[in-house]
Each structure stands twice: as C-alpha cells, then as structure tokens.
C-alpha cells in the first residue's frame, strides 16, 4: 500500500529525514517511535503534503502512485488521513458542515455520489455512537474552544466518517489523560480492518498498550534504526531510547 | 512539498453576472445640473411646490460645499456637470401588470421575479430602475395590514403629510456634500410607513438597478416605524458593466418611535469595475437611523461586495432611553476596489446599547477601511458599546485599515473596541485540504466562517445569496 | 488666517533669536519662523489635533525668555530621584545650568554636551541636524522649535558602549516674573550595538504658567538599545508640547515608559519609525489627570523593515473636569512583512465632568502581518471593588488600590525598583483622594 524508499526531507534548510524507508501493507498497524527531534512528525506531515517540507531524495509510492506529486486534497481523496498533533481552529466554520463538505469533496473526486444532508446526519449519528464526543461539539466551529482531548477525539471521529485507507496518527496520545486515551484507542481499534493500514506516531509506549501494533519502528536521527514486533515497544519502555543507540551504534552512525 | 497556489487566473475573468444592459427606451435629462434641471425633474415627477422648494434649498447649499476628503479613498475628481440626473423607462407603468416585459425579464435575470407566479414568497419587492420605481409587489396584502410600502415619488404625491414630517428629519439637507446633492436631485426610492403597533407581515425589499449610461442614481429611502411597530427591510443593488464610473449617492433615513424595531439589510453588488480599476460605481451613501423613542431598536446589516468606491457609514442616533443600535458589516474589496465604511453610534439616551461587528476582506489590490465613531454624550448614563473589527488579507498588494474613534463624556459608560488583522493561515488551509477540500473551497469556507457572525443577521434567503456573492467576488483572489 | 493676529503667534514672532553669527543657522531659524507664521497653530480639522483645540493657547502671549534663568536659586531636592545618581543635565526655564548638572566623570563611550555650548565651540557638525527642519514638512510646533530653540542636549553613545548608569535630562520650570516660553532641542544617537538608559524628567517649582516646546530625536544604529523613561510632572499652569522622533535601524530596540501627570495642556507626540529589519519597540505609558487638565498622547508607529515588532500598552485615568486624549496609530508599510503590532489602550473615566477620547488605528499594507489593537473606556470593576471591600478595605482605599493597579502595568519594567516605586508614588499623588461616585 505504502512504500517509502530512502526519503530525505529538509525543513527550513535543515535535513530532518535522512534516508527513511518503510513499507506498510493493507491491514497492518505500524507504530513509529523515537525520541524528540527524530523526525516523527515530519514523516506525518510529508505524507499529508504540508508546505515547507522539501523532499531532496527518495520516493513515496502509495497504491502504485507517486504520493509526493499529489496535492493535499488529492491525497485525502485517495484515502490518506493525518490526525494532527495540533488540530487548528477555524472560527465560524461549523464542524458538521466542514466534515460534510470534506466527505463530499472526497467522494466527488472518487466519482462517488455525494451525500445529502439527511444521509450525512444519519452517518454522523451512527459514527458518533461510542465515540463519547459531546454532541454539541458538532455544532461548534471546527476545533474552536475544544479542550485538548476533544480536539484529538474530533480527529478520530473525522477519521471514522472519512474512512481512509491509510491513517496516520501524529502523537494523538500526547496530552491525553488515561480515560481519553482509552477512548481514542477504542475508536482506532473499531476501525481496524484488513483493507486499512495505520501508522501510529508516538513518543510513549502507553498508547500501544491499547492499540497493539503489528510492527514497531524506532526512528532516530531521521531514519529507522530498528524494527520489530510489539515487544520492541516494551523493551524501549524498559530501557529508553539510549538503549537502541547503544545496541546499534554502527548502524546509527552509518 | 509545498502547497502550490493553484492557478486560478482563469477565474479572474469570471464575469460579473449582473453586468448586462437592458435595451429599453429611456427618457433621460441631458447631463448637467442647475436650477432648471431641478425644476424639470420635479415637474416630471409631478411633485408639489414645497418639494421643489425643498430641493432648491438643498441645491443652493450644495453649491457652497466641497466633497469630503477625509476618507482613505483615492478618487479622481467627479464632474458633476457630466452626469445626467434623471433617466426613466419611457413607458411609465400604472401597475405591475403594465410593466414592460423587458423590465420584468431584467428582474427575472437578477433573481428578483416581480410577476405574480414567481414572486419571492413572503417578500414584498419595490423595483427601482434607474430613476424610477417600476413596481411594487404584494401591495394589497400590505395595505390590509395598514403598511404603506411604495415608491418615494408616489409617497410625496399620496402621503405628503407623513413625508413632510419626516423627510430630512434624520439626514438634513445640509448634512454633507453628497446628502445635499441627493436632497436636490433625488429621483426615487422606497417609502415605508408602519403604523402604531403593527408588525409588518412580510419582509420588504427594494431592488435598485442602474441601467442607463452616464447617469447617476440618487435614491432616497424613508422608513418610519411608529410606536411598537416593527419591520425588516432589505435592499439589493446591481448595475451593468461599463468603462465609465457611475455615481450613486443615496440617502436613507430611518425613524423608530417608542418600542419600534427596524432591521435594515443591504446586499450591495454594484458593478465593481474590472481588474484594472476601469469603470464601476462610485457609491456615496448617507444612511442614518434615529431611535427617537424609548426602547426602540435599529439594526443595520450590510454585505458590501460591489462598487469601485464605497463611502458609507450607516449610523444610529440613540436618543430614546434604552434604545439599541446595531451595525453588522461585511465589506469585501478585490482588484482595485476601495471601501471606506463603518458606522457612528451616538448615545444620547440613558441605558442605550450599541454593538458593532465589522468584517473586512481585502484581496488583489483592494483597500478596505473601517471608520467608526462611538460617542457617549453626558446624558447617556450607563451606555454600553462593544465593537469588534476584524480584517482578513488575501494577497500582498491589498490594504486593511481600522480607524475607530471613541469619545466618552459619561463616567458610567463602558465602551470597548477590539480589532485584529490577519491573513488566512497556511495552517487552516492545509487542514482543510488534508481533509479533501480544494484550495478554492477551503478559502471560501474560511472566509465564510470569518463572516458568519454577520451573515447570521441577514434574513435566510439573503444570507445564502450573500455567501454566494462573496464566493464569486473572491474568485481568483488566490494565485 | 486670523492666527497672524493672535497673541500667541505675535509673542513667538517677537521672540525671534538674535543673529548668532552662524549664517546657515540664522537662515534655518528664519525659514522655520516663516513656516510657523504662515501655518499658524493647527486646528481641530487636522486629524492629529482632532481632540486638542488650541484656541485658548492662541489667545495667550508668552515672554520670549527668562532673563534670570541662569541665576535662579534651585533646590536640588525638587528633581531628585531615588537611587539615581550620576550624569545629568539640568535646564531651568530652557537654559542649561552647569552648576546643577553633573557632566564630570562621564562613562567611557558616552559624550554629552549642551547644544548652546556645541554651537559656540564647533557648530559645523550640527549643520545638517539643525538646518534640515526648515525644509522638511513638519508641524507648527516643530517649526517653532527649530526657529527658537537655542539650547538642548547632544548625546552620543559610541558603538558597542554599554552605558549602565542612567543619564538624566531634567527640564525644570521655575517661577519667573512673567509667563515665559522656552524651547529645547535634544538629539540622541546610539552607535552600533550601543546601549543607553535615559531618564527625561519634566518637573516644576510652583504652579505658574509657562510654555515649553521640546523636540527630541533619537537615532538607534544597528543593534543599539535604548531604555527611556519620560516622567512628566510639570506645573499645573504649564503648556507643554513635546515631540519625540525615534529612528530604529536593524535589530535596534526601544523600550519606553512614559508617565504623564502634570500640565494644564500637555501634548506628547511620539513617532517611532521601525526602519531596520527586526527592529522592535515596546512602549508603556499612563496618564492620571484631574482638575481641568488636558493631556494628549499621540503614538504613531511606522513599521517599515521586515519582521519588526511593536507592543504598546497605555492606560489613562481622568477625574474632575479633565480630558484625556490618546491616539495610537500603527502603520505597516508595503514590504514590512512579518510585522507584529499590538496595542492596548484602557481608560478609566472617574467623574461626570471628565472626558476621554481614544483612537487606536491600524493601517496595514503588507500581508504576513499580525496586528491587533484594543481600547476601552469604562470604570473600575464593581466586582473587584466589592471583593476588596468585603475583605475589609474602606471604599476609598479599595478604589485607589484598583486605580493604581490599573496603571501599574504601564510602570512594570521600570528599574531600579526604588525608581518604579517613586513613579508609583507620583502617580498616587495625582489620583483622586475622594470620589463622589
């Protein structure tokens, strides 16, 4: 589904990703872990197409297409979804209205029929079930005045409605208390599907207690320095990131 | 990868959809202004002598005045002798049934059908074409409720006692340069009278259309709401695309007596001129409401997307105790449009309240200025004002300016003003795009959100129209 | 124009300085006087003077100068500031007083000279500075200043010099035989990377009427930084007109605190030009007025360079029949991308007869800009007042406490602490003791 090959990315003149490679297949859940500054969020932003990220080398193939050539909205229509670390507030734009406009824009781009407001509301009601998102948030402006936890849950809710093929969660766990974390994890688990892949970007292992990944990758200094199964996250938790560096000094320095 | 500013240049040339000309025979006075012209105009309208004299007084004073220069507008001098002060379709209709089909077609095209079968439900329309009203819908229904809604010309003939009592009582003949000119040569406009205790059963609306070339439009509107009466009124404006600048100098007077409530909404879409700044309407308007009675309320809502130049400050004189004034505005300038607009809230009565919400959007080389005065007189104990002015910049060559004036003479008053200027953030654009919206949709959604507070004040149908208008006006703004 | 016949204008004409023997200077003074005479005093149709009418001033004549200014007995205690020692220049009724000043032992890199002395010793370097006013379009008071100022201060800070101890410029108004007029012109230049602390102190002995017109110009070269406290506590009868022009080059920084307390009619026009990239200005100010005082602060900030920043916080309190005027105008010029401009102006109106007029303004011609302003006119928060009273404070004490707190934001950052406390005490002395409200 997604094949990242030797990706080099510069931000504001500084190289952040230095030859990152990663393959993600449909149905898989990959966790990307790593210390601050390793380039985790950069990866998410590059995949979603944020401005200011310059790809100097390497490639990203998604469903056989060159993902990097697509505009952000075309990526969304193709099924790429980024749950933002810091979702922006958009004053005056109604949350429900926004989501319907986004869903219909995507459906239109894919040649599918757009949903009328009745169908859409039905969908929203259905997806809201079990989301524990206060219904009144749907009538507020996008992210405006939402608490940190509400913003994150709103991102997961958007994901549930938009049903992406590849969901990238950028530190969705940060700043959440344990209850909110569980709710977010439940939301994600409910969406696990053989046709859908997840990339979980996280600093801490605790999210992975609730969403058990198929693969864990450790990102350090702009590339993947170690990959393994879910157990790798526990070892990291036990030993810290320094442990990876010590174990793989030769590779990390290469 | 950077967000590419998608090439929307082709959209820049999207036409102003109201820019067509109706080919109709017109009775036009030759260009120029003198006392003879005023006599001729007054005679054409079969006005009583007092009206002719009133015009002449205004004209004589106007001769002593100079155009205001304080606004932040760059205007070539206007040759007032090159303008024709009267233009009207040759066949004056007696009733809507007799209106020239070409005119009906014109209003159909503008989305304001006048004929019986397609009228806007629940909205009575007075259609003003160049200098005259061509018809008013739902007259019978309104008359049953006791509401008078007709053209100003007709009101002067049919209801002289009311017109004499109120005309010029809010905006005197000598108020300012353009108001004096209007008082001398005003052609037509709407007259609304809501008697004591009556809630007007439907929305009233006037649709102003400039058609003839080399003419000015000088409409005069007077709305009087007696004790406990209430009315919601809306005006819309369009004009053909021409290379010349045409002058529109209107005066609108609102009088609200005790407990009366007047809501006045404007969707102004005069031809704005082209990208180079050629042509477009010069819109110099004096609008003022007088909350004469206690507990009265006047609210102005305006969506200004058209005109090459906009100079207007719909104001409220809060004379009655506990009276309330509101001003809600969206002003958009694109290409080379210039707008200097805002309001005055003059607090005189006790416990008076005013609220100002102004949203300015500048794109292209547009210049957008908010200019507002909040004045609390000594007598206005416990007066309150809150003003919020936000400006949005789209592009590098536009300007957004905020000039509020606050004068407070009463120590129990509270006056607050807040203003911000920002551009659409890349952050917001990216968020919308990453959810699948294209850039143009994302911009219009963010702009719509920016204006939401004001659109909410518009009657439903017009809110939709205003939103569309904004989208069309902004086309090509990114690129 | 009727101004030509007005006593004020006539008295200024009569005050024209005798020939100095320096040709270019006399020409410049003459030209400036002509400019003033033809323009007269500004009227309220001039937007910058909208709320300050000069009709009363116009009807008043002032004596050309105080002939005894150089010999009057002055008690140094009248202008003492706590914990502030060191270099100072003292002017009495516009005349430099070497006996009261301290110019010995200047820190290295600081050069200070009275203008009158410089004109005698070596006038040529001043030629550009003093003659360009006649040709630049300026306001009436600047023209008047250029025509009549024969004294003032020249301050130069050498590149990289860090002047830690504050330099003080004191203008004292002392009782004279008649209502006198004085004019002073100051010029302060900081070389690249230089740093200066400056206190401008306007104080008075007595309650007499006089007219003072002071023009200051500050040039901050690249990376220079000035920390300026302007403390205005003039006599009750004073008409004081000040204009301060700041030019900031790349990375230069201005930190300004202004306290406006005295004067019958006091106007301070601050023009801050953020010319260089990344230059920044932080301004803080407050006025506390009573009686029939009329105080007008015009703060005009121009963003020209890229990534410039201005942050302004002003407070006003008016009691009695006083009138406070504030105009805070920020202009972001084309090309000044990355500008960040913030302005807040809050005012308290404490009595029936008082008036406050405020005008924050934003003029934005660039795109990547963050700009915001806010202004309020109102009263003390009743809830806060009640809270304090419910904790046992008498109403008046509570009120004064709140007014002080309201103004205190304008003083935060004044160093040393003793000086800040002194400013606070001066402010307190100007606050209404008893309030009918």
Mean pLDDT of the B168-174 span: 96
Q: How confident is the model at residue C69, as a pLDDT? A: 86
ω before C416 within 30° of 0 (cis)?
Answer: yes
pLDDT, chain A, mean: 88
Mean pLDDT of the B45-72 span: 94
Main-chain dihedrals φ then ψ at residue B107, nearest 5 degrees: -70, -30
Q: How confident is the model at residue B91, as a pLDDT? A: 67
Q: How far apart are CA C262 and CA C202, in angstroms?
A: 9
CB C325 within 8 A of CB C52: yes
Kindly report the nearest CA distance between residue B427 and chain A, in angstroms: 7
Terminal Cα distance for chain A, rounded: 28
Is it the case that residue C1 has pLDDT exceeding 70? no
Q: How confident is the model at residue A236, as a pLDDT? A: 82
**Which residues, at least 6 apart from C389, have a Cβ–Cβ distance to it below 8 Å?**
C395, C398
Which of A60, A70, A72, A114 to substitute to test the interface with B, most B CBs within 10 Å?
A72
Model confidence at A244, pLDDT cuts 50, 70, 90, reads confident
Mean pLDDT of the C395-414 span: 85
Q: How confident is the model at residue C382, as a pLDDT? A: 80
With residues binned 3-state (H G I as helix, E B as strand, rest as coil), the percentages for chain B, rounded to 5, are 25, 35, 40
Mean pLDDT of the A29-39 span: 90
Is it the case that residue B299 has pLDDT exceeding 90? yes
Q: How confident is the model at residue B119, as a pLDDT? A: 61
Is it the case that residue C377 has pLDDT exceeding 90? yes
Q: How confident is the model at residue C136, as a pLDDT? A: 56
Model confidence at B118, pLDDT cuts 50, 70, 90, reads low
Is it the case that residue A252 has pLDDT exceeding 50? no
Span C16-55, pLDDT tens digits: 999 998 999 999 999 999 999 998 999 998 889 999 999 9
Assembly ipTM: 0.89
Q: How confident is the model at residue B4, as a pLDDT? A: 29
Main-chain dihedrals φ then ψ at residue B153, nearest 5 degrees: -60, -45
Q: How confident is the model at residue A123, as a pLDDT? A: 92
Question: CB–CB of B423 and C369 under 8 A?
Answer: yes
Question: CB–CB of B404 and C361 under 8 A?
Answer: yes
CB C435 within 8 A of CB C396: yes
Kindly report the nearest CA distance between residue B451 and chain A, in angstroms: 7
**Which residues, at least 6 apart from B109, have a Cβ–Cβ distance to it below 8 Å?**
B20
Model confidence at C315, pLDDT cuts 50, 70, 90, reads very high
Please state, in angstroms and as integers, the Cα–Cα distance from residue C330 to each residue in B183, B367, B407, C312, C344, following that order: 38, 16, 20, 10, 12
Q: How confident is the model at residue B10, as a pLDDT? A: 33
CB C194 within 8 A of CB C222: no
pLDDT, chain B, mean: 87
Is it the case that residue A190 has pLDDT exceeding 80? yes
Q: How confident is the model at residue C3, as a pLDDT? A: 44
Mean pLDDT of the A24-48 span: 92
Element spanning B291, H or E: strand B280-291
Q: How far apart are CA B123 and CA B298, in angstroms?
A: 20
CB B20 within 8 A of CB B102: no
Query: B 62-91 residues with CB below 8 A of C?
Result: 70, 72
* C vs B contact (3+ beta-carbon pairs below 8 A): yes
Is it the case that residue A215 has pLDDT exceeding 90? yes
Least confident piece of the model among B70-74, B87-91, C239-243, C373-377: B87-91
Model confidence at B399, pLDDT cuts 50, 70, 90, reads very high
Span A72-125, pLDDT tens digits: 888 999 999 999 998 888 887 888 888 888 899 899 888 999 999 899 999 998
What proportion of chain B, given as a percentage, has pLDDT over 70? 91
Is it the case that residue B6 has pLDDT exceeding 50? no
Please state, in angstroms and as integers, the Cα–Cα distance from residue C408 to each residue in C313, C314, C317, C416, following that order: 11, 10, 12, 15
Is it the case that residue C434 has pLDDT exceeding 70? no
Q: How confident is the model at residue B11, as a pLDDT? A: 32
The neighbouring-strand residues paired with C330 are C301, C362
Mean pLDDT of the C13-17 span: 92
Model confidence at A12, pLDDT cuts 50, 70, 90, reads confident
Q: How confident is the model at residue B437, as a pLDDT? A: 92
What proportion of chain C, given as a percentage, has pLDDT over 70? 96
Model confidence at A131, pLDDT cuts 50, 70, 90, reads confident
**Which residues, at least 6 apart from B6, have a Cβ–Cβ distance to it below 8 Å?**
A71, B438, B439, B440, B478, B479
Q: How confident is the model at residue B198, as a pLDDT? A: 97
Chain B residue with Cα closest to A77: B436
Mean pLDDT of the C347-375 span: 94
C354 touching chain B per CB within 8 A = yes
Mean pLDDT of the B289-315 span: 95
B120 touching chain C per CB within 8 A = no
Question: CB–CB of B414 and C379 under 8 A?
Answer: yes
Q: How confident is the model at residue A243, as a pLDDT? A: 76
Q: Is the dihedral of CA A16, A22, A28, A31 positive or negative?
A: negative
Chain A residues with CB under 8 Å of a chain B CB are: 46, 48-55, 68, 71-73, 75-77, 81-82, 84, 87-88, 90-94, 98-99, 101-103, 105-106, 109, 141-142, 158, 162
Q: Cα B61 to the chain's mean position, in Å?
A: 25
Q: How confident is the model at residue B466, as a pLDDT? A: 79
- Sheet containing A65-66: which strands, arranged edge to edge? A14-24, A2-11, A53-62, A65-66
Is it the case that residue B280 has pLDDT exceeding 90? no
Model confidence at B478, pLDDT cuts 50, 70, 90, reads low
Model confidence at B8, pLDDT cuts 50, 70, 90, reads very low
Is it the case that residue C163 has pLDDT exceeding 50? yes
């Amino acid at each position: 589904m997604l094949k990242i090959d030797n990706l080099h990315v510069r931000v504001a003149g500084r190289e952040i990703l230095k030859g990152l490679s990663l393959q993600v297949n449909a149905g898989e859940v990959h966790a990307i872990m790593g210390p601050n500054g390793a380039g985790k969020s950069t990866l998410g932003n590059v995949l979603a197409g944020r401005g200011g990220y310059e790809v100097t080398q390497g490639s990203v193939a998604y469903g056989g297409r060159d993902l990097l050539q697509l505009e952000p909205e075309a990526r969304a229509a193709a099924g790429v979804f980024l749950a933002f670390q810091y979702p922006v507030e958009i004053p005056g734009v109604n949350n429900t209205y926004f989501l319907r406009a986004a869903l219909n824009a995507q459906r239109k781009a894919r040649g599918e029929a757009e949903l009328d407001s009745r169908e859409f509301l039905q969908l929203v009601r259905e997806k809201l079930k079990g989301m524990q998102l206060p219904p009144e948030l749907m009538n507020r402006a996008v992210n405006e005045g939402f608490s940190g936890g509400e913003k994150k849950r709103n991102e997961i809710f958007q994901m549930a409605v938009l049903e992406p093929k590849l969901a990238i969660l950028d530190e969705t766990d940060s700043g959440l208390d344990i209850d909110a974390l569980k709710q977010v994890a439940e939301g994600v688990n409910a969406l696990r599907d053989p046709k859908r892949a997840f990339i979980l970007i996280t600093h801490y292992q605790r999210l992975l207690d609730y969403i058990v990944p198929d693969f864990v990758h450790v990102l350090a200094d702009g590339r993947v320095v170690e990959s393994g199964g879910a157990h790798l996250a526990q070892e990291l938790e036990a030993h810290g990131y320094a442990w990876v560096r010590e174990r793989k000094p030769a590779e990390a320095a290469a | 990868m950077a967000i590419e500013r998608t090439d929307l240049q082709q959209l820049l040339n999207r036409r102003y959809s109201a820019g067509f000309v109706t080919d109709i025979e017109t009775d036009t006075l030759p260009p120029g202004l003198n006392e003879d012209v005023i006599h001729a105009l007054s005679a054409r309208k079969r006005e009583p002598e007092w009206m002719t004299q009133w015009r002449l007084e205004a004209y004589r004073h106007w001769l002593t005045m100079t155009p205001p220069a304080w606004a932040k507008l760059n205007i070539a001098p206007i040759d007032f002798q090159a303008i024709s002060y009267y233009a009207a379709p040759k066949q004056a209709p007696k009733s809507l049934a007799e209106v020239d089909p070409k005119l009906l077609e014109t209003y159909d095209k503008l989305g304001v059908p006048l004929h019986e079968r397609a009228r806007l439900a629940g909205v009575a329309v007075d259609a003003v074409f160049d200098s005259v009203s061509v018809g008013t819908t739902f007259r019978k229904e309104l008359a049953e409720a006791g509401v008078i809604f007709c053209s100003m010309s007709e009101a002067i003939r049919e209801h002289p006692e009311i017109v004499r009592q109120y005309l010029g009582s809010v905006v005197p003949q000598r108020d300012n340069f353009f108001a004096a000119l209007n008082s001398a040569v005003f052609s037509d406009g709407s007259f609304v009278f809501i008697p004591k205790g009556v809630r007007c059963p439907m929305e009233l609306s006037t649709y102003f259309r400039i058609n003839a070339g080399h003419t000015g439009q000088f409409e005069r509107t007077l709305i009087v709401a007696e004790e406990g009466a209430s009315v919601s009124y809306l005006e819309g404006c369009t004009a053909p695309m021409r290379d010349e600048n045409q002058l529109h100098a209107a005066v609108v007077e609102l009088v609200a007596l005790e407990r009366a409530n007047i809501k006045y909404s404007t969707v102004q879409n005069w031809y704005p001129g082209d990208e180079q700044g050629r042509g477009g309407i010069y819109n110099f308007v004096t609008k003022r409401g007088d909350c004469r009675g206690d507990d009265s309320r006047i609210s102005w809502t305006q969506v200004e997307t058209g005109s090459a130049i906009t100079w207007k400050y719909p104001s409220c004189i809060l004379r009655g105790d506990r009276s309330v004034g509101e001003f809600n505005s969206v002003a958009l300038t694109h290409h080379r449009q210039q707008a200097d607009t805002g309001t005055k809230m003059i607090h005189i009565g006790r416990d008076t309240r005013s609220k100002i919400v102004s949203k300015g959007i500048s794109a292209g080389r547009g210049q957008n200025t908010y200019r507002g005065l909040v004045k609390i007189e000594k007598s206005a104990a416990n007066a309150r004002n809150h003003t919020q002015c936000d400006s949005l910049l789209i592009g590098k060559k536009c300007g957004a300016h905020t000039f509020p004036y606050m004068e407070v003479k009463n120590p129990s008053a509270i006056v607050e003003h807040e203003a911000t200027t920002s551009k659409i953030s890349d952050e917001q654009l990216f968020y919308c795009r990453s959810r699948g919206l294209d850039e143009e949709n994302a911009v219009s959604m963010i702009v719509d959100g920016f204006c939401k507070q004001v659109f909410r004040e518009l009657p439903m149908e017009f809110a939709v129209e205003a939103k569309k208008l904004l989208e069309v006006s902004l086309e090509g703004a990114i690129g | 124009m009727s101004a030509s016949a007005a006593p004020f204008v006539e008295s200024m004409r009569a005050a024209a300085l005798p020939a100095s023997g320096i040709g270019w200077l006399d020409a410049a003074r003459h030209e400036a006087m002509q400019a003033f005479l033809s323009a007269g005093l500004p009227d309220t149709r001039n937007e910058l003077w909208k709320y300050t009418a000069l009709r009363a001033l116009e009807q008043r004549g002032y004596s050309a100068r105080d002939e005894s200014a150089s010999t009057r007995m002055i008690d140094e205690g009248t202008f003492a500031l706590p914990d502030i020692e060191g270099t100072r220049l003292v002017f009495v009724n516009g005349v430099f007083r070497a006996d009261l000043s301290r110019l010995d032992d200047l820190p290295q890199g600081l050069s200070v000279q009275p203008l009158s002395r410089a004109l005698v010793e070596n006038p040529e370097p001043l030629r550009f500075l003093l003659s360009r006013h006649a040709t630049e379009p300026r306001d009436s008071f600047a023209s008047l200043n250029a025509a009549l100022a024969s004294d003032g201060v020249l301050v130069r800070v050498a590149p990289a010099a860090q002047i830690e101890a504050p330099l003080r410029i004191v203008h004292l108004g002392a009782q004279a035989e008649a209502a006198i007029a004085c004019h002073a012109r100051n010029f302060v230049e900081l070389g690249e990377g230089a740093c200066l602390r400056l206190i401008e102190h306007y104080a008075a002995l007595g309650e007499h009427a006089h007219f003072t017109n002071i023009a200051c110009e500050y040039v901050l070269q690249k990376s220079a930084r000035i920390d300026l406290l302007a403390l205005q506590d003039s006599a009750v009868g004073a008409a004081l007109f000040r204009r301060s022009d700041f030019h900031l080059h790349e990375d230069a920084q201005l930190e300004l605190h202004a306290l406006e307390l005295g004067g019958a009619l006091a106007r301070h026009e601050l023009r801050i030009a953020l010319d260089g990239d990344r230059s920044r200005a932080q301004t803080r100010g407050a006025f506390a007025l009573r009686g029939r005082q009329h105080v007008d602060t015009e703060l005009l900030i121009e963003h020209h360079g890229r990534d410039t920043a201005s942050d302004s916080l002003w407070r006003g309190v008016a009691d009695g029949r006083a009138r406070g005027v504030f105009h805070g105008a920020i202009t972001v010029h084309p090309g000044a991308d990355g500008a960040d401009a913030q302005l807040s102006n809050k005012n308290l109106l404490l009595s029936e007869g008082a008036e406050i007029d405020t005008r924050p303004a934003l003029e934005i011609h660039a795109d990547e800009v963050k700009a915001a302003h806010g202004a309020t006119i109102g009263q003390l928060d009743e809830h806060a007042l009640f809270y304090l009273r419910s904790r046992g404070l008498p109403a008046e004490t509570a009120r004064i406490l709140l007014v002080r707190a309201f103004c205190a934001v304008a003083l935060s950052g004044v160093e040393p602490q003793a000086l800040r406390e002194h400013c606070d005490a001066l402010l307190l002395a100007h606050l209404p003791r008893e309030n009918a409200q």
